[in-house]
A and B are shown apart, each in its own frame.
Chain A
Amino acid sequence: MIGFSLDRSSGVPTYLQLVQQVRHALRTGALAPGDKLPTAAEVVAQLAINPNTVLKAYRELERDGLVAPRPGLGTFVCGTLGGAPLAAHAALRRELTRAVRAARGSGMDTEDIEAVFVSVLHEDAQRGVA
């Protein structure tokens, strides 16, 4: 069982913070297949947030195949994270390095590149939310 905590000033939507915390716990091994997630009522009693926020986070995790609801019992972990991401990290790093070098070559400085990167990341995340 894990407990959630919120960073209310981060600007990251609450349901996404819950998703990220479960994913993080899966990566670190704090959660393993078979473990039960806290119920919506338990989470909201502690965090004073809208229960639909918790359900939305759980649905998202379910869509990713990481958890599954068992009617009348609760929501249980059924997937794992880790292994593959390491390779994905390396691939992303290679591609970013190539893009950054090309940008520098065309006269952009670190701040320019960072601004574009952050805004692309942001826009893409927005698209995922909508």
Chain B
Amino acid sequence: MNALETTGLGKRYRRAWALRDCSLAVPAGKVVALVGPNGAGKTTLLHAAMGLLTPTRGEARVLGEAPRTSRTLARVAFVAQDKPLYDGFRVSELLRMGRALNPRWDDGVARCRLAELRIPLDRRAGKLSGGQQAQIALTLALAKRPDLLLLDEPLANLDPLARSEIMGHLMSTVAERDITVVLSTHVIADLAQTCDWLILLSGGRVQVSGDVEELLGAHQMLTGPVEAADALAASTPVVSRRVVGRQVHLLVRASRPIPDPRWSARPVAMEDLVLAYLREPDAAALPRPTLATLAPEGNR
């Protein structure tokens, strides 16, 4: 089953499309990095999945059903970008609210986690540090025992220690039970170790959606002489091209070794891949039979 699926999803705000012709399917059980520059449509996609907005075109489905039915709402948790907690509520009151509003609420897990974090239950949420508020928001979302957890920029404005603790806790939750996590971010470094599915949005369109390992295996970074680049590009899809003197660095979509000995190849890291696609907004790597419209010429 797909945890998240969109078909021709589009959202227009007045004149501008925030998201356009977005079709993707994420299998259940994945940890998904939703990556893209500011304004790429990440938040719009998450809001559409939660049913917080009505699409202009197409549709989103979560856990095989329409968003915002009472069945899906019980199984999906969402933490919005600004980690919204009721500032005036004490932590214990937030827990009570969660218990009252969510049929699958696990109070024990939440209290245990908050004790681990040494977050006092009698403090008002607004008085706690940004890191603690982020931890509380995540704790509440997990106590809901969701099958799909959507996190909009969960790591923004957090120090490295808090980031690592949040990701560590999230990953041990993934290890312990079947849950799909989608987290949006523009910090790539945090994701390379944690995410096994990558969705790359740019200018409101899906550029990449796929299994991280497969994506990395399907690309290589080549270095070779500038004059050989065009011949190579004729037979192999080039995602990005960077010329340094008489050498050129190409990120190409090819899983087999390039037979021409003038090219030296090295494997691609997640960061290389994300940056290469972001630099070339017209390039695409989608699981459908290569519909990629690849840029024949790189920038520069």
Same complex for A and B? Answer yes
Contact count A vs B, C-beta below 8 Å: 54
Interface residues on A, range: 20 to 34
* Interchain CB contact (< 8 A) of B31 among A40, A45, A50, A122: A50
* Segment with Cβ contacts to A, from B97-105, B118-126, B172-180: B172-180
Q: Does the CB pair B193–A50 fall under 8 Å?
A: yes
Q: Does the CB pair B257–A8 fall under 8 Å?
A: no
* Interchain CB contact (< 8 A) of A49 among B165, B194, B217, B267: B194
Q: Which positions 24-66 of chain B face chain A at CB distance < 8 Å?
A: 31
Given contacts A119-B264, A123-B257, A130-B217, contact A52 B176 (CB under 8 A): no
Q: How far is the CB of B141 from chain A (nearest CB, A)?
A: 18
- A11 close to B (CB within 8 Å): yes
* Interchain CB contact (< 8 A) of A47 among B193, B195, B264: B193
Q: Does the CB pair A126–B267 fall under 8 Å?
A: yes
- Report whether over half of chain A's contact residues are helix, strand or loop; otherwise say mixed: helix
- B168 close to A (CB within 8 Å): yes
Per CB-CB distance, the 9 closest pairs between chain A and chain B, nearest first, are A51-B175, A44-B171, A48-B167, A45-B172, A41-B175, A48-B168, A49-B193, A40-B175, A41-B172
Q: Does the CB pair B269–A45 fall under 8 Å?
A: no
Interface residues on B, range: 20 to 34
Q: Which positions 1-51 of chain A face chain B at CB distance < 8 Å?
A: 6, 8, 11, 14, 39-42, 44-51
**Residue of B whose beta carbon sits closest to that of A129:** B217
* Interchain CB contact (< 8 A) of B168 among A47, A52, A119: A47
Q: Does the CB pair B217–A48 fall under 8 Å?
A: no
Q: How far is the CB of A18 from chain B (nearest CB, A)?
A: 11
